[in-house]
Amino acid sequence: MNGFIGVLCGILFVFLGQAGTNVRGAYDVLVSMGIITYFIPYGFLFAAMFRVQREKAGPEVICVPGGRPVAKLVACVGLFTTLLTLALAVLPPAEEAHKVLATVKIVGLSSILVGVGAILYYAAARKNRNHQTGI
Compute the distance between CA of residue 124 and CA of residue 57 in angstroms, rounded to an integer: 31
- Residue 12 belongs to what domain range? 2-91+98-133
pLDDT per position as a tens digit, 33-79: 889 999 999 999 999 988 888 878 778 877 778 888 888 899 999 99
pLDDT tier, 2 (very low <50, low <70, confident <90, very high otherwise): low
Q: What is the pLDDT of residue 45?
A: 93
Taken in order 28, 33, 38, 41, is the CA torsion positive or negative?
Answer: positive
Position 10, amino acid: G
Q: How many domains does the chain have?
A: 1
Instruction: For residue 96, give the 3-state DSSP assignment.
Output: coil
Collapsing DSSP states into helix, strand and coil, what is residue 97?
Answer: coil
